[in-house]
Amino acid sequence: MTKTIQIDIGICTYRRASLHEALLSLAVLAVPEGAALRIIVADNDKTPSAQARVDALRHTVPHKIAYVHCPASNISIARNACLDHATGDFLAFIDDDEDASEEWLVELLATAKATKADAVLGPVRSVYSQTAPAWMREGDFHSTLPVWVAGEIRTGYTCNVLLRLASPTVAGRRFNLALGKTGGEDTEFFSHMHAEGGMIAYAENAYVYEPVTENRADLVWLAKRRFRFGQTHGRLLQEKSPGLKRIKTVGLALAKAGFCYAAALGCVFSAVPRYRYALRGVMHSGVVSGLLGVREIRQYGTAEAA
């Protein structure tokens, strides 16, 4: 008799009404053959503010929903709560402001089986309103895709991922609480997992969709986000760059930032490449900041994050 594959789906939430739509998208998922699904909602608010919304959908969503109250205002606490309460063979993460495509889990699991990977990433497609700037919609500055280095993926993200819970590089691993208010906890999680031999694969058709809200359709928001990404990368480089090597790494990051800013000036009459180079320069500036030990900017638990 073939063993049923248990897939848990973790959703970390913090005062977002969009949790309702996210859960409804999971209600109509195509269930992979031979699999059973269970949803874990980790509420990171000080009070159990999402519990009523979850309870109201229990009869609509055809999968068991486990509600976990895990205060407060620290995304790592919520992510770890999903790991702590996961009982399946796999744990998938999706954000509370995303909608899963119907074949999302089918595609993730098929790639996990084919590659034997410890983690499988999928693409996050941003959905822009017509009020977003034209350059932003044309350049698609918000969608999330993995980055390949020398033919492999060395880090990841939690907005669309499937984890193999029995993997020795995943079992027992938790998200860093010190990064739970700044972000970057997922980058560190997957970077350390990969460094210990974990394999990260990519399922190109495992789409989730994320609406770009008005406050995020903004150059300042994008710049803050890119700078924080750079800070996280810089801090991870700092761990591997003692002494003179760190000075060289700082110099390289400064040179990359300078090149990107100069390229942005050279594209002054072309909005998409101008902003793309400028934001790349901001990211490299963040790398310098991280290498020099500057604390990462706070992203979670603020009014903006809420």
In a domain, 187, yes or no: yes
Q: What is the mean pLDDT of residues 283-305?
A: 78
pLDDT at res. 305: 42
Find out whether 136 and 64 touch, Cβ atoms under 8 Å. no
Domain that holds residue 144: 5-211
The rounded percent of the chain whose pLDDT value lies above 70 is: 96
DSSP state letters, the chain: -PPPEEEEEEEEESS-TTHHHHHHHHHTPPPPTTEEEEEEEEE-SSS-TTHHHHHHTTTTSSSEEEEEE--SS-HHHHHHHHHHH--SSEEEEE-TT-EE-TTHHHHHHHHHHHH--SEEE--EEEE--TTS-HHHHHHT-S-B---EETTEE----SSEEEEETTSTTTTT----GGGTTTS-HHHHHHHHHHHTT--EEE-TT--EEEE--TTTSSHHHHHHHHHHHHHHHHHHHHHH--THHHHHHHHHHHHHHHHHHHHHHHTTT-HHHHHHHHHHHHHHHHHHHHHTTPPPPP-SSSTTT-
Q: In terms of Cα–Cα distance, which of 95, 72, 96 is closest to 19? A: 96
- Domain termination residue (choose one: 155, 177, 211): 211
Q: Residues 18, 82: one domain?
A: yes
Q: Residues 29, 95: one domain?
A: yes
Q: Assign 303 a pLDDT band (cuts: 50, 70, 90).
A: very low
Q: Is the pLDDT of residue 299 over 70?
A: no
Q: Is the pLDDT of residue 162 over 50?
A: yes
Q: Assign 301 a pLDDT band (cuts: 50, 70, 90).
A: low
Q: What is the mean pLDDT of residues 100-114?
A: 98
The residue ranking higher by pLDDT, 1 or 117, is: 117
User: Residue 183: which CATH number?
Assistant: 3.90.550.10
Q: Is the pLDDT of residue 243 over 70?
A: yes
- Domain termination residue (choose one: 163, 189, 211): 211
Q: How many domains does the chain have?
A: 2
Q: Residues 155, 224: one domain?
A: no
Q: Assign 300 a pLDDT band (cuts: 50, 70, 90).
A: low
Q: Residues 159, 11: one domain?
A: yes
Q: Residues 43, 160: one domain?
A: yes
Q: Rounded to an integer, what is the distance from CA 279 to the centroid of its chain?
A: 19
CA separation for the pair 122, 260 (Å, rounded):
28
Q: Assign 287 a pLDDT band (cuts: 50, 70, 90).
A: very high
In a domain, 299, yes or no: no
176-180, 190-194, 237-241: least confident range: 237-241
pLDDT at res. 56: 96
pLDDT at res. 306: 39
Q: How far is CA 216 from CA 199, 208, 223, 225, 271, in A?
A: 32, 18, 11, 10, 18
- Domain termination residue (choose one: 158, 192, 211): 211
In a domain, 266, yes or no: yes
Q: Is the pLDDT of residue 109 over 60?
A: yes
pLDDT digit string, tens, across residues 39-98: 999 999 999 999 999 999 999 999 999 999 999 999 999 999 999 999 999 999 999 999
